[in-house]
Amino acid sequence: MMTKKSPNPIDRHVGSRIRMRRMMISMSQEKLGEKLGITFQQIQKYEKGTNRVGASRLQQIAIVVGVPVSFFFEGAPVPDGSASGFSDSANPAYVSDFLATSDGLALTKAFMKVRDPKVRRRIVDLVEAMVSEETKESKK
């Protein structure tokens, strides 16, 4: 009996960063695939981390979406027992996961358009108050 191997955490991270960047520039999977000469299904597999992205393909993707290759590794998980400093980002995985969603990206884009620091702070305070209320309600 064959067991399905789960995606490598680095492959999943790189895939989520591809998805995040693609969504940031409002590019469809079909369009990215077209520019790379591959199917949108292959893009889906890359973004889920089920298929590993080769170095030359990652370079092509970086050029198409307008970022350096290093962008895809920012905040990548560090394997246990490896030397520290491999990943210089302090962002936990949930931040990248959130930014890779359409809601996370929309919220981030809208928030970044708010120029007044006091208004931005009030938005953060509001969200924190909502979470606090929700937490209280769920404990009842």
Walk along the chain (140 residues) and give the pLDDT tens digit of each residue.
Answer: 555 678 889 999 999 999 999 988 989 999 999 999 999 999 999 999 999 999 999 999 999 999 999 999 988 887 765 544 444 444 566 776 787 788 888 888 888 889 998 999 999 999 889 988 888 777 77
Whole-prediction pTM: 0.67
- The backbone torsions φ and ψ at residue 26, rounded to the nearest 5 degrees and listed phi first, read 55, 45
Cβ pair 58, 69 in contact under 8 A:
yes
Amino acid code (one letter) for 13? H
Which residues lie below 8 Å from residue 21, measured CB to CB, with a gap of 6+?
A: 65, 67, 71
